[in-house]
Amino acid sequence: MSQLFSPFSISSVTLPNRIVIAPMCQYSAVNGEASDWHLMHLGNLAISGAGLLIIEATAVEQEGRISPADLGLWSDATESALARVLSAVRKYSNIPIAIQLAHAGRKASTAAPWDGGGLVDANHGGWPTVAPSALAFMPEDPEPTALDAAGLQRILQAFVAAAQRAYKLGIDAIEIHAAHGYLLHEFLSPLSNQRDDEYGGSLENCMRFPLAVFEAMRAAVPPEMPIGVRISATDWVDGGWDLDQSVAFANALKARGCAFIHVSSGGLSPLQKIPVGPNYQVPLAASIRAETGLPTITVGLITEADDAEAIIADGQADMVGLARGILYDPRWPWHAAAKLGAQVEAPPQYWRCQPREQKALFGDIRFRQR
């Protein structure tokens, strides 16, 4: 029996298999509101046969967007727009759906990647950025404003309010974005956090604000709604955030009721040197899983069904995340199931597509013949 296609439970949410669609920014919202593109995009992925779909990084306040076209969940209008999309998707798919809640910090106010990704100034819809310290991401960028006590409280409450909206929408789980150089990661890393107050300096202090955000969100929604965290396990820069610190952070999250840890890396510094290759982040996830016992999602150039199967079977992670790979092949779970001798759920409109030699792919399906 395929381990990749065995069920797995994250708190009260049971996944039919271990394939996770990782959050992928679409830069297609208007004023933070989900658009018809999101209806098409999420609808397509919802019938992929994966075990969990995580909605892209969703800003908890306007200033927390990566770009002016980022998805948001900070107002009645953004909530209503996402509700429309989710309602349509739910008519045709029962895939568990999570949402990644985020604040971009000093990496906010940038253009979409296909528009160059550069800083957007105030004349073109941009805004001033905030961060733990007045340290820019790129040398040519203007310095962000270091957050004061009022700013920290505003952002914490924005995360809480977005979590409550997510629960109201019937979303199954929440993932807090503390990776890729965005605000919560900026607090963790000594490369971006040079504060001399209770939020900087020691590891305990650097973890204080991200942990406070997690605790407040955990208290704001019912305990049966899982809340996990995505982290960058290393900055890939000497003197930056590293694996040992990630283990300590994950253990602190576990003690506070964290349901899962989603392990990525990098994104905080342009000086990073990432040894990119197939499955290159899997050892990071395996170490954190072994040290903490937290349910763990691994991600990063996992493209082959056999590799994904081995990751689960060998106990390196509990779930395998796909991002760019599933954009390229939205039926990756179908193809993996066919290769591994497993089954997936698919809408009845597509049952007739299964190849003759794979008649068990969608289960024991019989068609009435005319």
**Token reading at 169:** 């929408």
Residue closest to 47 by CA, chosen among 330, 296, 285 = 330
Task: Tell me if residue 173 falls in helix, strand or coil.
Answer: strand
Radius of gyration of the chain (CA): 20
Residue closest to 69 by CA, chosen among 58, 79, 60 = 58
Nearest 10 degrees: CA dihedral of 168, 170, 176, 179? -130
Residue closest to 326 by CA, chosen among 312, 343, 308 = 308
DSSP string, 219-240: HHS-TTS-EEEEEES--SSTTS
How far apart are alpha carbons 288 and 263 in whole angstroms? 8
Residue closest to 337 by CA, chosen among 368, 294, 308, 369 = 308
How far apart are alpha carbons 337 and 308 in whole angstroms? 11
Catalytic positions, written as ranges: 182
Q: Are 208 and 198 in contact (CB under 8 A)?
A: yes
